């Protein structure tokens, strides 16, 4: 019987065999986004394994994947951004842990599009590491087409789609390693940014967004799930609501921006941090008090996640590229890009937002700190009933730093305040703290 890496190579025969072959193709910008995404996924799969602890064997292993990603981002920078993307690999030393018994250097690949607010970050991520059935097996083939070459390909495609963007916030396109080892790559990156004084205003992670047929036999090519925590993990105080963390505000914003631009594609809000028994790279950002959410396909197939490539009783196991719906991934990328653009071009959210709770009243008074640097044209108060999932009303406050809502009881309504600029681009809404 042939070794598994030979079997995998035969499955990939019609695709790219290595990064060098891909580089020779030139990556035509005239191909459809689905074709570009498939090319990226197959190039990553062709690395054999992308286990965080895999050896560098030239065309095989996580280092080969890292070289591919850096080279592709450099190409995107030159072709789409006039060389403005700063592409770099950031290594983080991770202490020994259960899945990293000797510790490890975990390397993230970043492409940074500078904004006018250099310390204000909007981040899109996917993890480029993969594992077979045994999480400690760094040798066996681990194609990881859906988990998570699909999400990593979304990051690359977003970098292409946002070519020419001149953002207010700095945009980071990020492929992280070590996700399968305790979320170590994203954890290290989030902590490093915190220590360096950055503010991550929004973080979108894409993990398992291949959109194929699920273990339930269903395919839903026009729906993606978006997970967000309600009560914040850390770093912020939310009083008066179970569904108004900064991550929940981000999820609503992403849904609206994505569905406005990607017609017929449903961004399905799932009001919990993640799936049961699972975790993703948004979690370390939540734990530092930052708004972060996760995109995941609607129907997962567990035969094609964390499985050795094999056939048992006529049943194919393994995370192989033929099980990915590339048109679906392209729509996920478009949804991400729409949200990233809206976030990055918007003014910064208002600060010191408060709801006056000092006395009983049938009216509700909100106040906030006004920005005077010319970036904000005005403010809006968003409203929804306590049993509504999304903001359903809005009241313009103009350039004022407060608004009294007559005959609108704080007992019956929830509020948030957003800033908007002269072009009408709105910031993330901010849920108020009580003024006592």
pTM: 0.92
How many degrees, rounded to 5, is the angle at CA 295 between CA 294 and CA 297?
140
User: Span 305-311, mean pLDDT?
Assistant: 97
pLDDT tens per residue, range 197-238: 999 999 999 999 999 999 999 999 999 999 999 999 987 889
pLDDT above 70 (res 30): no
pLDDT tens per residue, range 59-79: 999 999 999 999 999 999 999
Calpha distance 85→74 (Å, rounded)? 8
**Mean pLDDT computed over every residue of the chain:** 93
pLDDT tens per residue, range 107-159: 999 999 999 999 999 999 999 999 999 999 999 999 999 999 999 999 999 99
Query: Quick check: 122 and 340 in contact, CB under 8 A?
Result: yes
Where does 275-412 show beta strands of DSSP type E?
292-296, 310-312, 315-317, 351-356, 364-369, 378-385, 393-398, 402-405
CB neighbours (10 Å) of residue 165? 18
And the tokens for 404? 């009294």
CB neighbours (10 Å) of residue 220? 16
Matching residue, tokens 């406050």:
397
Calpha distance 101→120 (Å, rounded)? 35
Residue intervals of the chain classified under CATH 3.40.630.10 are: 4-345
pLDDT above 80 (res 308): yes
Residue intervals of the chain classified under CATH 2.60.40.10 are: 351-435
Among 33, 279, 66, 62, which Cα is nearest to 175's?
66
Residue 32 CA: distances (Å) to CA of 36, 38, 323, 326: 6, 10, 19, 10
pLDDT above 70 (res 15): no
What local confidence, expressed as pLDDT, does residue 236 receive? 80
Label residue 372 by pLDDT band (50, 70, 90). Answer: confident
Strand partners, 170: 121
Q: Report domain 4-345's class.
A: alpha beta
User: Span 302-314, mean pLDDT?
Assistant: 97
pLDDT above 80 (res 10): no
Among 201, 12, 180, which Cα is nearest to 97's?
180
The DSSP symbol for 322 reads: G
pLDDT above 60 (res 16): no
Residue 243 CA: distances (Å) to CA of 78, 239, 240, 380: 42, 10, 9, 20
Question: Domain 351-435 adopts which CATH fold?
Answer: Immunoglobulin-like (2.60.40)
Calpha distance 134→422 (Å, rounded)? 54
Taking phi over 0 as left and psi of -120 to 50 as alpha, with beta for the rest, 144 belongs to left
pLDDT tens per residue, range 97-120: 999 999 999 999 999 999 999 999
């Amino acid at each position: 019987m042939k070794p598994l890496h030979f079997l995998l190579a035969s499955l990939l025969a019609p695709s790219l065999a290595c990064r060098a072959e891909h580089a020779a193709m030139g990556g035509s910008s005239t191909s459809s986004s689905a074709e570009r995404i498939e090319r990226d996924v197959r190039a990553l799969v062709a690395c054999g394994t992308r286990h965080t602890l895999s050896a560098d064997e030239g065309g095989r292993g996580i280092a080969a994947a890292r070289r591919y990603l850096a080279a592709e981002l450099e190409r995107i920078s030159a072709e789409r951004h006039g060389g403005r993307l700063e592409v770099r690999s950031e290594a983080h030393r991770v202490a020994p842990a259960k899945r990293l018994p000797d510790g490890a250097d975990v390397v993230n690949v970043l492409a940074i599009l500078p904004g006018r607010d250099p310390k204000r970050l909007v981040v899109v991520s996917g993890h480029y590491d993969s594992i077979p059935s045994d999480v400690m097996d760094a040798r066996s083939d681990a194609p990881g087409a859906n988990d998570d070459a699909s999400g990593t390909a979304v990051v690359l495609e977003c970098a292409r789609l946002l070519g020419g963007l001149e953002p207010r916030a700095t945009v980071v396109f990020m492929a992280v390693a070590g996700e399968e080892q305790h979320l170590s790559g994203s954890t290290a990156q989030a902590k490093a940014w915190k220590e360096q004084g950055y503010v991550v205003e929004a973080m979108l992670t894409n993990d398992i967004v291949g959109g194929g047929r699920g273990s339930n036999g269903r395919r839903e090519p026009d729906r993606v799930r978006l997970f967000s925590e309600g009560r914040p993990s850390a770093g912020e105080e939310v009083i008066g609501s179970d569904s108004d963390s900064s991550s929940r505000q981000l999820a609503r914003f992403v849904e609206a921006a994505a569905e406005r631009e990607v017609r017929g594609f449903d961004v399905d809000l799932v009001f919990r941090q993640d799936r049961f028994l699972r975790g993703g790279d948004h979690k370390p950002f939540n734990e530092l008090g930052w708004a972060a959410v996760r995109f995941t396909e609607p129907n997962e197939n567990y035969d094609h996640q964390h499985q050795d490539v094999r056939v048992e009783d006529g049943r194919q196991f393994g995370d192989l590229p033929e099980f990915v719906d590339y048109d679906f991934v392209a729509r996920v990328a478009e949804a991400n890009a729409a949200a990233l653009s809206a976030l990055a071009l918007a003014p910064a959210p208002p600060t010191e937002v408060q709801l006056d709770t000092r006395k009983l009243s049938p009216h509700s008074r909100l106040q906030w700190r006004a920005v005077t640097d010319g970036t904000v044209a005005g403010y809006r108060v968003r409203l929804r009933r306590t049993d509504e999932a999304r903001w359903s009303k809005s009241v313009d406050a103009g350039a004022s730093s407060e608004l009294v809502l007559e005959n609108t009881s704080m007992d019956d309504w929830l509020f948030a305040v957003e800033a908007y600029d002269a072009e009408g681009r709105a910031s993330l809404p901010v849920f108020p703290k009580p003024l006592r």
